[in-house]
Every structure is written in C-alpha cells, then in structure tokens.
C-alpha cells in the first residue's frame, strides 16, 4: 500500500514553507555578498556569503526542478518527486526560462577543482627551442571566481549570473508563495517550516465551528470532501 503521488493540501504547505525559507536565506546571503563585495579588498566573509547564496539557491532550484532518481530512495518517493516539481512550478507560475533553473554558476563553484584540472591538463608545455624560435603558445585564462558589484554579476569558471535578474525572480517567487501560504509572511522562516511539518492535519481557523452548524467535525468532513488534492490509499498493481 502506498499514497498516490497527489499534491495534498498538507504536502503543498510543507513544500511552500521550506521553499520560502530557502528563498529568504538565498536573498539574505546575496544581499550580504553584495555589501561585502563593495569593499576593497574583498574580505573573506564575502566568499562565505557567496557559498551560502549558491547553496540556498541550489535548494530552491532542486525543489522546483527535482534531481534524477535517487538510488537510495524508494520507488514511491520517486513517483511522488516526478509530480512534485511540475506541480510546484505550475502553482508558483515558474517558467523553464527562469534564472532559477540555470545551474552553470553553481556547478562551476561546487566542482571548481574539476575546472582547475581541465585548465591544468590543457596548458601547453613549450620547449626552450620553441621560445627561442618565437613560437610562443597561447595560455588559456585560468578559471576564476569573481564578484562585480558595479555590474551586478557573479562569474565562476566562465559562467555568469546576473544578480539583478536573480533577485527579481527570488522576490517574485517569495511573493507568490506568501499568497498561497500566508503563514510564511507572518512567521520566522524556520518556525513556519517547523509548524508545517509537525503533523498532516488542516490548520483550523478560529471561526471554523461558526462556519458550519455541525461544529468542527462537520467542518473537517466538509474540507476533506472538497479538497481535490487529498491523497488516498491504493494498492499497487
């Protein structure tokens, strides 16, 4: 027996609150990064913010565009994940052209050692004779991690990220999440995520009994019967 991969109201709340948390932290890290990057020389703390920003940005991206099948996961979890990404992108109105999907800068930073490997092995090894014959080879530019505060760009190993477009998209995403899940707008990020994952039961408004003459139980029954995303149990064929 397993739960069908259907977006229940509770599951939606869980994903949105955690997505809001990671979005907020990505924005906070990016804001601190730009502040540090305006100092000359750039202090080490800037690169801590840089890595934090890319880490939380990666969490946001993977929530919306899930990674491939996990060899250590379950078949039920995989089936659910294939539904989760498209569902969240639809309700949050995130297009595939969104800068949140781009992973070149994050991959370049996470696998920077590999970029160094490729640069080192590609360097020419000129001989003295070639130098004397004025046959000097061209040396490729080494991979770099750069922050251009004035231009608003982050550069990693040949890939660029436009800070302004990223901020706009992250803020738009957070606004949309708050529309669908108002609790994330009034509670601290971690508290909202913690409350959302506490138990899969609906959050009752204070006037729930007054909305239905049958009291709380009748109100609950009504909510369960009208929630199109309520998961049901089914036997796998």
Residue with tokens 């139980």: 217
Measured in whole angstroms, the distance separating CA 76 from the mean position of its chain's CA atoms is: 23
Enumerate the domain spans of the chain: 9-120+141-196
Mean pLDDT along residues 152-162: 88
Q: Residue 147 above 50 pLDDT?
A: yes
* pLDDT tops 60 at residue 227: no
What percent of the chain stands above pLDDT 70?
76
Which pTM does this prediction carry? 0.74
- The pair of structure tokens assigned to 37 is 């990057």
d(CA 182, CA 180): 6
Lookup: tokens for 220: 């609950």
Q: What pLDDT, on the 0 to 100 scale, is given for residue 153?
A: 85
Closest CA to 198 of 59, 20, 7, 17: 17
DSSP H or E run through 61: helix 44-64
Query: Residue 161: is its pLDDT beyond 70?
Result: yes
pLDDT at 80: 86
Q: What local confidence, expressed as pLDDT, does residue 236 receive? A: 35
Higher pLDDT, 3 or 143: 143
Could you give the 3-state DSSP secondary structure of residue 161?
Answer: strand
């Amino acid at each position: 027996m397993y739960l069908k991969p259907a977006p229940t109201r509770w599951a939606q709340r869980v994903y949105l609150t955690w997505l809001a948390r990671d979005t907020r932290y990505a924005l906070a890290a990016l804001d601190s990064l730009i502040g540090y990057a305006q100092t000359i020389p750039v202090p080490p703390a800037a690169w801590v913010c840089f890595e934090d920003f890319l880490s939380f940005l990666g969490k946001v991206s993977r929530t919306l565009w899930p990674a491939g099948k996990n060899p250590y996961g379950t078949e039920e979890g995989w089936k659910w994940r294939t539904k989760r990404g498209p569902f969240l992108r639809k309700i949050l109105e995130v297009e595939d052209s969104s800068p949140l999907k781009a992973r070149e800068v994050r991959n370049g930073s996470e696998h920077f050692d590999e970029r160094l490997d490729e640069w080192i092995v590609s360097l020419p090894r000129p001989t003295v004779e070639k130098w004397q014959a004025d046959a000097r080879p061209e040396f490729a530019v080494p991979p770099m991690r750069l922050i251009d505060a004035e231009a608003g760009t982050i550069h990693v190993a040949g890939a660029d990220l436009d800070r302004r477009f990223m901020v706009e998209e992250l803020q738009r995403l957070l606004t949309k999440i708050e529309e669908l899940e108002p609790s994330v707008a009034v509670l601290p990020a971690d508290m909202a995520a913690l409350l959302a994952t506490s138990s899969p039961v609906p959050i009752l408004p204070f006037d729930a009994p007054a909305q239905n003459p049958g009291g709380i139980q009748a109100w609950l029954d009504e909510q369960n019967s009208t929630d199109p995303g309520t998961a049901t149990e089914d036997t796998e064929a």
